[in-house]
Amino acid sequence: ETGVTQTPRHLVMGMTNKKSLKCEQHLGHNAMYWYKQSAKKPLELMFVYNFKEQTENNSVPSRFSPECPNSSHLFLHLHTLQPEDSALYLCASSPTPTTGKLFFGSGTQLSVL
């Protein structure tokens, strides 16, 4: 275990549904990230939070809404998604954004029907 826990592991949702992905880290890190991994494509950074403040939004559509209530928890709220949003969504953390290596969770495999 990496110390980063994501729930749920799998999610199937319709285009009109609203759902949330949850990430929790037990490592005492101050930076948290959301990445998207589509089949056969590189990981794409979506959002970066440092000490609960969003420091990066990589031109992500507004149907993805992140929330970071504290340094240990990160959410990704989903609404009105498209089938092309189906992917593995990975949460990661690091001591600070400039520390280097990332600790990833196991991801949520999302399917949008």
Partner 1 sequence: SQKIEQNSEALNIQEGKTATLTCNYTNYSPAYLQWYRQDPGRGPVFLLLIRENEKEKRKERLKVTFDTTLKQSLFHITASQPADSATYLCALDMGNQGGKLIFGQGTELSVKP
**Binding positions for partner 1, rule: CB under 8 A:** 2, 4, 6, 31, 33, 40-43, 45, 48, 50, 55-56, 58, 90, 92, 94, 96-98, 100-107, 109
Shortest Cβ 45–partner 1 spacing (Å): 6
Contact 33, 49 (CB under 8 A): yes
Contact 44, 87 (CB under 8 A): no
CB of 75 or CB of 104, closer to partner 1: 104
CB of 80 or CB of 95, closer to partner 1: 95
For residue 43 the two structure tokens come to: 């990981």
- Alpha-carbon distance of 43 to 105, in angstroms, equals 14
Shortest Cβ 49–partner 1 spacing (Å): 10
CB of 82 or CB of 99, closer to partner 1: 99
Pinpoint the alpha helices (H) of 1-113: none
- Alpha-carbon distance of 21 to 18, in angstroms, equals 10
Shortest Cβ 80–partner 1 spacing (Å): 26
